[in-house]
């Protein structure tokens, strides 16, 4: 009799347990208290109060599907996989008992034709191992980042020194340019003066258009009308030639025909020419230095991160081959795409940081690339991820002429990366 009683008690306890399990299947611990009420159940959206027996009875009573967490009855229901040893998560309750194991603990297939083995432990172990490796990589990345910051500081100082040197050179060249301009003006004035001095005497009769011939540089003051008549021999012939030329209606002006100029004018012209050449040279040098200063200032004005951890990327390029193209990213400069016959297309010029407001350095933007046929101008967004190497990880063209790249670099590692990794896991 006593045994009989004990059997009945055991059966009742088992049934109770079974009912409890059935009722609360597919519900997370935090929501379980809402399903403890035995008499009635209030739909989670508060829309209906139903008898508790209608919970998980395979009929959808609540509009939000909350009465059927453990069956596929509601189209919008969700089933909670506890996945002990791995990560708990929700699946749409339509997947319950559909013959596919969705929860790693197999709990979604409790009345299914298939048997799901519990893979949670194995998945958890694998994930923990991956996490450990990732954490190791982040730590190594953080260590490398320190070196990159030091490298960047040196590069930055070098650039600053370069700038002040260039500014000094530029100032010297500016003085030189002024000096050479004066030299040129002097040479021109001297030549003009000489030309004036030996110009044919238009007032004198007979000798009207004669050049006055060889006049020593320092004796030009002595040149006068009288001397213009004292011309002999070869010189006389020369002047006659010039005379002829001057009377010719389409004659070449004397300064464009240097061979026919009097030697003194020729010498003066030579002085002007060399002053012009010298001036051009220093002006060119000055312009080049100005351009270099402008470029350097532009580079120094770029934001290289809070610790200038990205300075080291200046002047470096990384590339990756994807199908028939080779993509090249030159940070803070441009992105290009070369096809297999060697023609190159520009996919964007440095356009600034593009990450979300709380972490702007997570993305770079390169805009205004070459025009795309029936599409926008090409542009590229580069996402920076923490890694122990500085290299491209992926290149994609998710929509026509809009490219995305993943650049891994220790410079992108931060304690936040570390926290994010942990947070995303278990
Ligand atoms: C080239 C490449 C492609 C791009 C097409 C658009 O083939 O730049 O990436 O999609 O042009 O016409």
Q: What is the pLDDT along the chain (426 residues), one digit of tens a residue?
A: 455 545 444 444 444 444 444 457 899 888 888 887 678 899 999 999 999 989 999 999 999 999 998 899 999 999 999 999 999 999 999 899 999 999 999 999 999 999 999 999 999 999 999 999 989 999 999 999 999 999 999 999 999 999 999 999 999 999 999 999 999 999 999 999 999 998 766 554 444 344 444 444 443 333 333 333 333 333 444 333 333 333 333 333 445 576 778 899 999 999 999 999 999 999 999 999 999 999 999 999 999 999 999 999 999 999 999 999 999 999 999 999 999 998 999 999 999 999 999 999 999 999 999 999 988 999 999 999 999 999 999 999 999 999 999 999 999 999 876 566 555 544
Which residue has the least CA distance to atom 9 on ligand 1? 401
Which residue has the least CA distance to atom 3 on ligand 1? 401
For residue 406, the CA-to-ligand 1 centroid distance in Å is: 19
d(CA 143, CA 140): 5
For residue 138, the CA-to-ligand 1 centroid distance in Å is: 36
Take residue 153 and report the two structure tokens written for it.
Answer: 């500081």
User: Which candidate, 156, 418, 415, 111, places its Cα nearest to that of 308?
Assistant: 156
* Most informative mutation of 323, 340, 370, 400 for ligand 1 (most atoms within 8 A of CB): 400
Minimum-distance ligand 1 atom for the alpha carbon of 378: 8
Strand partners, 50: 41
For residue 400, the CA-to-ligand 1 centroid distance in Å is: 7
* Most informative mutation of 328, 341, 345 for ligand 1 (most atoms within 8 A of CB): 345
pTM of the model: 0.64
d(CA 156, CA 154): 5
For residue 340, the CA-to-ligand 1 centroid distance in Å is: 13
For residue 394, the CA-to-ligand 1 centroid distance in Å is: 17
Take residue 77 and report the two structure tokens written for it.
Answer: 């229901």
pLDDT of the residue at 103: 97
For residue 412, the CA-to-ligand 1 centroid distance in Å is: 30
Residues with CB under 6 A from ligand 1: 337, 345, 372-373, 397, 400-401
Minimum-distance ligand 1 atom for the alpha carbon of 345: 8
| Cβ-proximal residues to 276 (8 Å cutoff; 6+ apart), any chain | 184
* Most informative mutation of 320, 341, 371, 372 for ligand 1 (most atoms within 8 A of CB): 372
Take residue 285 and report the two structure tokens written for it.
Answer: 């040098």
DSSP reduced 3-state for 290: helix
d(CA 368, CA 333): 12
d(CA 357, CA 13): 57
For residue 401, the CA-to-ligand 1 centroid distance in Å is: 6
| Cβ-proximal residues to 296 (8 Å cutoff; 6+ apart), any chain | 159, 162, 163, 166
Q: Which residues of 163-173 are buried (b: 16+ CB within 10 A; e: fewer)?
A: beebeebbeeb
pLDDT of the residue at 146: 97
Helix or strand holding residue 398 (H, E): strand 391-399
Which residue has the least CA distance to atom 2 on ligand 1? 401
Minimum-distance ligand 1 atom for the alpha carbon of 370: 8
User: Which candidate, 40, 36, 39, places its Cα nearest to that of 23?
Assistant: 36
For residue 387, the CA-to-ligand 1 centroid distance in Å is: 30
pLDDT of the residue at 4: 59
For residue 371, the CA-to-ligand 1 centroid distance in Å is: 10
For residue 367, the CA-to-ligand 1 centroid distance in Å is: 16
Minimum-distance ligand 1 atom for the alpha carbon of 403: 9
Give me the phi and psi of 397, to 5 degrees please.
-125, 80
For residue 331, the CA-to-ligand 1 centroid distance in Å is: 22
Which residue has the least CA distance to atom 4 on ligand 1? 401
Which residue has the least CA distance to atom 11 on ligand 1? 372
């Amino acid at each position: 009799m006593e045994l009989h009683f004990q059997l009945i008690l055991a059966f009742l306890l088992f049934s109770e347990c079974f009912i409890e399990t059935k009722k609360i299947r597919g519900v997370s611990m935090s929501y379980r208290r809402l399903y403890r009420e035995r008499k009635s159940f209030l739909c989670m959206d508060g829309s209906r109060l139903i008898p508790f027996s209608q919970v998980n009875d395979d009929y959808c009573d609540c509009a939000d599907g909350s009465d059927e967490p453990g069956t596929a009855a509601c189209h919008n229901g969700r089933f909670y996989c506890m996945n002990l040893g791995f990560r708990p998560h929700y699946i749409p309750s339509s997947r319950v008992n559909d013959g596919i194991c969705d929860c790693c603990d197999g709990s979604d297939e409790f009345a299914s034709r298939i048997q799901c083995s519990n893979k949670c432990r194995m998945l958890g172990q694998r994930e923990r191992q991956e996490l450990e490796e990732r954490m190791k990589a982040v730590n190594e990345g953080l260590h490398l980042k320190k070196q990159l910051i030091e490298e960047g500081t040196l590069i930055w100082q070098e650039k600053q020194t370069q700038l002040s040197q260039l500014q000094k050179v530029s100032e010297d060249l500016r003085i030189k340019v002024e000096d050479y301009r004066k030299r040129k003006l002097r040479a021109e004035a001297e030549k003009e003066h000489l030309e004036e001095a030996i110009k044919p005497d238009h007032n004198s009769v007979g000798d009207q258009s004669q050049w006055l011939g060889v006049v020593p540089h320092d004796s030009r003051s002595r040149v006068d009308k009288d001397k213009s008549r004292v011309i002999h021999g070869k010189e006389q012939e020369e002047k006659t030639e010039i005379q002829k030329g001057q009377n010719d209606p389409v004659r070449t002006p004397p300064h464009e025909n240097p061979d026919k100029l009097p030697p003194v004018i020729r010498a003066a012209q030579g002085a002007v020419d060399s002053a012009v050449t010298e001036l051009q040279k220093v002006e060119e040098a000055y312009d080049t230095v100005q351009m270099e200063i402008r470029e350097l200032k532009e580079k120094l004005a770029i934001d290289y991160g809070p610790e200038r951890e990205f300075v080291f990327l200046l002047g470096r390029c990384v590339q990756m081959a994807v199908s028939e193209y080779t993509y090249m990213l030159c940070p803070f400069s441009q992105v290009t795409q070369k096809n297999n016959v060697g023609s190159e297309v520009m996919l964007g010029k440095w356009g600034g940081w593009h990450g979300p407001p709380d972490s702007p350095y997570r993305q770079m933007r390169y805009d205004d690339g070459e025009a795309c046929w029936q599409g926008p101008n090409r542009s590229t967004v580069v996402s920076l991820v923490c890694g122990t190497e500085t290299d491209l990880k992926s290149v994609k063209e998710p929509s026509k002429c809009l490219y995305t790249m993943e650049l891994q670099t220790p410079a992108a590692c931060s304690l936040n990366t570390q926290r994010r990794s942990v947070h995303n896991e278990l």
